[in-house]
Structure 1
Amino acid sequence: MSKYPSTVHFTGLNTPVGIEWSARNLDVVGEIPSEIDGAFFRAVPDPAQAPMFADDIALSGDGMVAKFRIHNGVVDYAIRYVETERYRLEKEARHALFGAYRNPFTDDPSVKGKDRTVANTTPVWHGGRLFMTKEDGLGYEVNPDTLETIGRWDYYGALKSETFTAHPRIDPVTGEMFFFGYEAGGLASLDVAYCIADKDGTLVSEQWFQQPYCSTIHDFAITEHYAVFPIFPTTADLDRLKAGGPHWAHQQDLESWVGIMPRYGKVEEMRWFKGPKGVSAFHFVNAYEDGDLVHLDICLSDTNAFGFMREAGGVQRDQRDIGGGLTRWTFDMAKEGDGFESRVIGPPGDMPRLRDEDQGRNHRAAWYLSMNPQGGPPLPGGPVGIAFNAMFRIEPGNGRLDMMPLGPNMAINEPVHVPSTQEGHEGWLLAVVDRQTGENSFASELWVVEAADIAKGPIARVPMPVPMRAQVHGTWVPADKLAQARATAGENANEDA
């Protein structure tokens, strides 16, 4: 196959771009506050080669790491491919060698046993290092200044898990990173590795446990004293994979589960709570404690949002008919039994964001993406195939809800939060917004939004000179952390000389 398929995964906002480029002093409409000083890193799936199979999906795209560097109101931009083993092998071959999404049994025999990950989901900053991650493999370290790929990261051989989550959680007080890897022991295995790295990035703990069934554990949560592992019934099966079938199939009649353990405890202390059948959530806003209660806020839907996962399980549901909402699950750790309370606290949506300092603590406000009914039909694009056209700010404590709606033919990517140095100021949000300008043509802008007043829209915009493919996740790294990492790298280089 020499051309990209004419499906939603390769058209619209998912049209492959495949260009590595950089630019300095991009035009700015409005004024960016001077206290916004740092880098907005984005993970962008963008296939460098046409796929082997016509039914391939957007999530298979090779990872690109993008960076908006903002300083004194000036914006520079750069984007490069993450040079994974998979990317380098296919670049040399000049065509696809890896087959169906997360199914090595469909690969060209020449790449048997090679690293399949595309590192396209989340940029992770911890211990002065930048990693590009995807949950089917280990992360790849990337130079935060040049965006050059340094290599696969396994904590100098200390990490035994074969996988690393795209959603680690960093404690704002201790600086520790809590993370996990599912299918840690191999394809379709029940093994989950639960790990802790200290504030300097040294792996200090790795424990393994088994989940009730092999589920796609995309996200998890921490509180001050607990680690929380929600399990939803989208499952993998080794025999299905060996037959060339899909990695994931959603099972609507299977219960969900939530495992909760002391975050510094033993996995044998895991307590399992039984949840409703068939539900799904890929992202969680936060978790926190209130006495004996553990609250978990999740972007819940009544079935899987990904069409290819639903269809593989025989679930026939139009995307527009999926129900759900921002939901709070509450677990009483002082009570016996496997039940818990559930209540909807906000409209449906996904791609949540909160202040880093609120991680694992009671948060006053959070932000997430959703649909604006007055915004017209959503644009095709993004990992699910339908792009969001609104952003909410919610205060769970009092129910306040504000919306930043987008106009017709517009879409918004997941925001990042930038803290403010001003006392009482809620900070800023950065997000890329796309607009359709013609048939299968789009223009993108970086928006700067005041976090406490999203309804007024952007205070500054940065029009981009070339097309941009939809991102998955992003992260903000302040300038002082970038400088500290640069200094540490220089010291290490001098020691090695």
Structure 2
Amino acid sequence: MTAFPRTIHFTGLNTPSRIESSIRNLEVIGTIPDDIRGAFFRAVPDPAHVPMYEDDVVLSGDGMVSRFRFEGGQVDYDIRYVETERFKLERAARRALFGRYRNPYTDDPSVAGRDRTVANTTPVWHAGRLFMTKEDGLAYEIDPETLETIGRWDYYGALRSETFTAHPRIDPVTGEMFFFGYEAAGLCSRDIAYCIADRDGKLVSEQWFEAPYCASVHDFAITERHAIFPIFPTTADLDRLKAGGPHWAHQQALESWVGIMPRRGDVSEMRWFKGPKGVSAFHLINAFDDGELVHLDLCLTDTNAFAFMREAGGIERQPWEIKGALTRWTFDLSKPGDSFEERPIGPPGDLPRLRDVDQGRPYRFAFYCSMNPEGGPPLPGGPVGAAFNALLRIEPGNGRVEMLGLDPEMAISEPVHIPSSREGHDGWLLAVVDRRTGEALFESELWVIDAANIAAGPVARVPVPVRMRPQVHGVWVSEAQLVGRAASRETSRT
């Protein structure tokens, strides 16, 4: 191909930008709260080259690491490509060499056996290191000051898994990072590697187990005592890949499963619970213990939200026909059997966020993106092809829901939460908001939102004078964490 396809994956908000830039002292409309000192890192897929196939998807875009740096009320913006092995090989060739999404059998023969990951999904901060992750490969370490790529991260050769999740969980008390890799033994394997890195960044545990089938395991959860692995029926098949077909196909008639084990136990202690057929959840808000009960809160839909994964499974559903809700699954570990209870606790939506201190614990409130029916048609773009136009605050204890609804022709990305220094204050949110200003023209701003009163809108806005692509996920890193980086890195090395 000589031009980008005119599909939803390459038009609208998803129009390729391919611009690396650095801008100091962005305009600030309003006042940046004193609490906001540090960096907001974002993962932004942006294809550096025209794809090999017209049916390529946005999830194949090369990873870019974006940063908003807050210092003394000023805001700087930077964005750089993650220089993965794939990116460097294609840059040298001046063309795409890797074929269909997660299918190495469609690649140019010159890159057989080379690292395919684009590291485009989630920036992760742990033990003084910044990683860019995508679940089909290992993480890449990034210098948080220069945004230069340091290299692929495998815990100095200690990690055996071939993959690293885009959604690790960090315990706010112990500082440990709990993570996993699926397809850990290679393409279409059922193997999942469950791992723990201590607060200093040392890999202290790696155990393997088999999932009921090879599934897309995008997220998992921890409580203070348990690790929870939801398995949804979006499956891979090696014969299909060898024939040049898609990696993922959703199977509507196949049961979902949830595995629960002691988080510091042995994988042989895993207990499996059978879930509904055909359901899907890419993101989980949180999980927590309640005596012998384990509660898991997830953004559940009755089928896969990605059209290309549904269609590969023969499912013809329009996006507005998909039903879902923020849902709580409750598992009673004191009882035998493989069943559990389910109840809705909030409106449908995705890309949830809660305070870091609430990870794995009962929580008072959380946030996620949704659709405002009064906001008009969603803007085209984003990972699933339609962007969210509302932000919700949910209080699961009392059922209260508050909404920040955007005007027509606007969209909002996943927020990050920043704690407040004021006692009793719920902190702040940062989120990028896009606005369509013409048929194919868009402008973007970073909004600062009071987490206790999201309906009031932003307390500060930071316009960005370059075209931005939609992010997938982001992470907030405080000034104190950035300053302590050097000491943390040295500890993890020894």
TM-score, normalising length: structure 1: 0.98
Cα deviation for residue 71 of structure 1 reads 1.6
Aligned pairs for 1:91-490 within 5 A: 91-486=91-486
Runs of 4+ deviating beyond 6 Å? none
Provide the rounded CA distance (Å) in 2 between the counterparts of 1:231 and 1:434: 33
Provide the rounded CA distance (Å) in 2 between the counterparts of 1:406 and 1:289: 36
Give secondary structure in 2 for the equivalent of 1:308.
Answer: helix
Provide the rounded CA distance (Å) in 2 between the counterparts of 1:192 and 1:29: 47
Contact 1:378 1:388 survives alignment (8 Å): yes
Letter in 1 for 2:359: Q
Provide the rounded CA distance (Å) in 1 between the counterparts of 2:64 and 2:313: 31
Indicate how the Cα distance of structure 1 residues 127 and 488 shifts in structure 2: closer, same or farther if over 3 A, else same. Answer: closer
Cα deviation for residue 487 of structure 1 reads 5.1
Letter in 2 for 1:267: V
Give secondary structure in 1 for the equivalent of 2:308.
Answer: helix
Contact 1:24 1:75 survives alignment (8 Å): yes
Provide the rounded CA distance (Å) in 1 between the counterparts of 2:169 and 2:146: 26
Give secondary structure in 2 for the equivalent of 1:227.
Answer: strand
Letter in 2 for 1:24: R
Please, which runs of 5 or more residues in structure 2 have no aligned partner?
none
Give secondary structure in 1 for the equivalent of 2:320.
Answer: helix
Provide the rounded CA distance (Å) in 2 between the counterparts of 1:334 and 1:74: 53
Aligned pairs for 1:23-38 within 5 A: 23-38=23-38
Cα deviation for residue 205 of structure 1 reads 0.1
Cα deviation for residue 73 of structure 1 reads 1.4
In the alignment, is residue 71 of structure 1 matched against residue 71 of structure 2? yes
Provide the rounded CA distance (Å) in 2 between the counterparts of 1:487 and 1:237: 45
Per-residue CA deviation, residues 217-276 of structure 1 (Å, 9 max, x unaligned), is 000000000000000000000000000000000000000000000000000000000000
Provide the rounded CA distance (Å) in 1 between the counterparts of 2:197 and 2:253: 37
Cα deviation for residue 144 of structure 1 reads 0.3
Provide the rounded CA distance (Å) in 2 between the counterparts of 1:79 and 1:398: 41
Contact 1:325 1:344 survives alignment (8 Å): yes
Letter in 1 for 2:11: T
Letter in 2 for 1:65: V
Provide the rounded CA distance (Å) in 2 between the counterparts of 1:348 and 1:103: 31
Per-residue CA deviation, residues 144-180 of structure 1 (Å, 9 max, x unaligned), is 0000000000000000000000000000000000000
Provide the rounded CA distance (Å) in 2 between the counterparts of 1:51 and 1:412: 27
Provide the rounded CA distance (Å) in 2 between the counterparts of 1:295 and 1:487: 37
Provide the rounded CA distance (Å) in 1 between the counterparts of 2:65 and 2:335: 46
Cα deviation for residue 35 of structure 1 reads 1.4
| Partner in structure 1 of residue 53 of structure 2 | 53
Seq. identity, %: 73
The size of the alignment, in residue pairs, is: 493
Cα deviation for residue 122 of structure 1 reads 0.1
Indicate how the Cα distance of structure 1 residues 164 and 488 shifts in structure 2: closer, same or farther if over 3 A, else same. Answer: closer
Give secondary structure in 2 for the equivalent of 1:289.
Answer: strand
Cα deviation for residue 2 of structure 1 reads 1.6
Provide the rounded CA distance (Å) in 2 between the counterparts of 1:127 and 1:36: 21
Cα deviation for residue 488 of structure 1 reads 5.2
Please, which runs of 5 or more residues in structure 1 have no aligned partner?
none
Contact 1:195 1:207 survives alignment (8 Å): yes
Give secondary structure in 1 for the equivalent of 2:339.
Answer: coil
| Partner in structure 1 of residue 3 of structure 2 | 3
Give secondary structure in 1 for the equivalent of 2:480.
Answer: helix
Cα deviation for residue 395 of structure 1 reads 0.3
Contact 1:34 1:71 survives alignment (8 Å): no
Give secondary structure in 2 for the equivalent of 1:425.
Answer: coil
Provide the rounded CA distance (Å) in 2 between the counterparts of 1:469 and 1:390: 18
Provide the rounded CA distance (Å) in 2 between the counterparts of 1:78 and 1:325: 36
TM-score, normalising length: structure 2: 0.99
Contact 1:260 1:270 survives alignment (8 Å): yes
Indicate how the Cα distance of structure 1 residues 292 and 61 shifts in structure 2: closer, same or farther if over 3 A, else same. Answer: same
Provide the rounded CA distance (Å) in 1 between the counterparts of 2:232 and 2:312: 15
Letter in 2 for 1:201: G
Provide the rounded CA distance (Å) in 1 between the counterparts of 2:160 and 2:384: 31
Letter in 1 for 2:373: P
Provide the rounded CA distance (Å) in 2 between the counterparts of 1:370 and 1:298: 14
Contact 2:200 2:488 survives alignment (8 Å): no
Letter in 2 for 1:101: Y
Contact 2:66 2:79 survives alignment (8 Å): yes
Give secondary structure in 2 for the equivalent of 1:392.
Answer: strand
Cα deviation for residue 486 of structure 1 reads 3.7
Give secondary structure in 1 for the equivalent of 2:351.
Answer: strand
Per-residue CA deviation, residues 392-434 of structure 1 (Å, 9 max, x unaligned), is 0000000000000000000000000001111011000000000
